């Protein structure tokens, strides 16, 4: 009966029903009334508690990535990268780190079909000996905008019309007609890539540029790539209708069934690296989230493998309350001046504090699995038992000390305060290269899909002309073929 050792857990279930206070419940089917047909009494504590819990058993869904599925497993290093980083979990081949991964759609609601055309989230939480490291990415290597100031507008434009609650193409075509840098993401989104067959058969990308740092302080730019060992598969539009019509949770079921049968999903982790001294030699900004790093210039280097070999125990506890944050890094890995990365380190933690409360990191699925300590105290839903008398630092009564110094970037930053775009926009080159890499039938499918949404009656001639101009600048043939499909005159 030691109250400090008894942690709430299903392992301590009583053999009979109780209230949250632990009192026995002898009748869980009838309300307490005055007589058999009289009014219900407010003193029926169990009834009130039961409804209070039921009324509150849903939490605010994520604004983005609301629809998702999680699984657990491990990451194993397979190749030496200790020459690039002092991150402990990457210290040597053979080192394994427990992980939890959440796959998701981006725009649509928590109960929406998993077959809708949408980017997919691919988020990995490493429980390392030096704390949690989160790679919070997508199945598309780029994003619609390079500046987080526009992120809320991107999402609002993609989400349903606030008046009708219907997702309408004219809204996102209107908004993104102001963002020529969105072309490359649009190509992936409206390509076959836009509907993965399931979560096991899709890539994952960190999207951002990270910094790897050695103990000596040597810095290397880095991008993370996950490649499924079972290959890529996509659903064509007609297939998606059939699959989604039979099971709107097909990807979640596929992931769960595969793991349950021992067919463990696996991805290889690769990195691309760049010397920061070379970043100005390119015709694009390597910190721009709307650009990819060409693999012929920056080849993929193998690092390790990710294996998902355990299904989650409880969907709410390990999927809905699972919280990721791009700001969760470990010694040896650091942020860059990527504008989206910089802002997401605040925004993701902030949204979790809103959704789950200020102590969301005490939730078991989010808590680090290594020893940890600080003086953050109390607040909503705090359940960490503490008996220290000192809750400040430093103190001569408390032996806790600061950790050993970890390497961080030391580059000197100078410049005026400005609100402006990056110097090297180069919005169309990579989009044209991607389009030309596709076979003719795949190009035609993209053109048809885009022409269909551009034919929305509320898409004005001006907006169509802007997009036609963008696509023509990406590839002249694309512009001509799309103009023909739309019954317009080619602009180039």
Yes or no: say if 116 and 251 are a contact pair by the CB < 8 Å rule: no
CA 221 – CA 172 distance, rounded (Å):
32
Catalytic residues: 65, 138
Yes or no: say if 319 and 195 are a contact pair by the CB < 8 Å rule: no
Q: Residue 86: which of 261, 334, 369 has the closest Cα?
A: 334
334 is in an annotated binding site: no
Give backbone dihedrals phi and psi of 480, rounded to 5 degrees, phi first. -65, -45
Name residues whose C-beta falls within 8 Å of residue 319's C-beta, 6 or more positions apart in sequence.
68, 69, 70, 102, 312
Yes or no: say if 238 and 211 are a contact pair by the CB < 8 Å rule: no
What does the DSSP assignment read for 309-364?
A: EEE-S-HIIIIIS----TT---TTEE--S-HHHHHHHHHHHHHHHHHH-TTGGGST
β-strand partners of 305? 76, 268
Quickly list H helices, 13-124: 45-55
Dihedral of alpha carbons 147, 149, 153, 155, sign: positive
Owner of token pair 């969105």:
182
Q: Are strands 210-213 and 219-228 parallel, antiparallel or unpaired?
A: antiparallel
What does the DSSP assignment read for 397-415?
A: T----PPPP----------
Please report, in range form, the residues annotated as the binding site: 348
Binding-site residues from annotation for heme: 348
């Amino acid at each position: 009966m030691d109250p400090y050792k008894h942690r709430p857990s299903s392992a301590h279930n009583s053999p009979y029903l109780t209230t949250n206070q632990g009192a026995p419940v002898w009748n869980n089917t009838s309300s307490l009334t005055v007589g058999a047909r009289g009014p219900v009494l407010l003193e029926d504590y169990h009834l009130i508690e039961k409804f209070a819990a039921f009324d509150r058993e849903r939490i605010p869904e994520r604004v983005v990535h609301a629809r998702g599925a999680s699984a657990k497993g491990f990451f194993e290093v397979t190749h030496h990268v200790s020459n690039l980083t002092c991150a402990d979990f990457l210290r040597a081949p053979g080192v394994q780190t427990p992980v939890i991964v959440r796959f998701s759609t981006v725009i649509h609601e928590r109960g929406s079909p998993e077959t809708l055309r949408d980017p997919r989230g691919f988020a990995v939480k490493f429980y390392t000996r030096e704390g949690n490291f989160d790679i919070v990415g997508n199945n598309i290597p780029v994003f619609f905008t390079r500046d987080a100031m526009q992120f809320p507008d991107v999402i609002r434009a993609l989400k349903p019309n606030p008046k009708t609650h219907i997702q309408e193409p004219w809204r996102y075509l209107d908004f993104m007609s102001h963002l020529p840098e969105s072309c490359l993401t649009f190509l992936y989104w409206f390509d076959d890539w836009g509907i993965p067959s399931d979560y096991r058969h899709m890539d994952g990308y960190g999207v951002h540029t990270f910094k790897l740092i050695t103990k000596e302080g040597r810095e290397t730019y880095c991008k993370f790539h996950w490649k499924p060992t079972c290959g890529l598969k996509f659903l064509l539009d007609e297939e998606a209708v059939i699959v989604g019509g039979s099971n709107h949770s097909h990807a979640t079921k596929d992931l769960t069934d595969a793991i349950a049968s021992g067919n463990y999903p696996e991805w290889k982790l690769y990195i691309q690296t760049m010397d920061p001294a070379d970043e100005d030699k390119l015709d694009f900004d390597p910190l721009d989230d709307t650009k990819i790093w060409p693999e012929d210039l920056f080849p993929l280097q193998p690092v390790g493998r990710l294996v998902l070999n355990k299904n989650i125990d409880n969907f709410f506890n390990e999927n809905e309350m699972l919280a990721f944050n791009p700001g969760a890094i470990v010694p040896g890995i650091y942020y860059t001046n990527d504008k989206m990365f910089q802002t997401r380190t605040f925004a993701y933690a902030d949204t979790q504090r809103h959704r789950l409360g200020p102590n969301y990191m005490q939730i078991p699925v989010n808590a680090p699995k290594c020893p940890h300590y600080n003086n953050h105290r109390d607040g909503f839903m705090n359940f960490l038992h503490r008996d220290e008398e000192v809750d400040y630092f430093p103190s001569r009564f408390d032996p806790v000390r600061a950790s050993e110094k970890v390497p961080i970037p030391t580059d000197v930053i100078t410049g005026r305060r400005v609100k402006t775009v990056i110097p090297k926009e180069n919005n169309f080159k990579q989009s044209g290269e991607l389009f030309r890499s596709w076979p003719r039938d795949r190009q035609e499918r993209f053109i048809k899909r885009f022409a269909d949404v551009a034919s929305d009656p509320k898409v004005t001639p001006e907006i169509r002309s802007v997009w036609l101009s963008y696509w023509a600048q990406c590839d002249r043939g694309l512009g001509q073929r799309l103009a023909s499909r739309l019954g317009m005159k080619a602009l180039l």
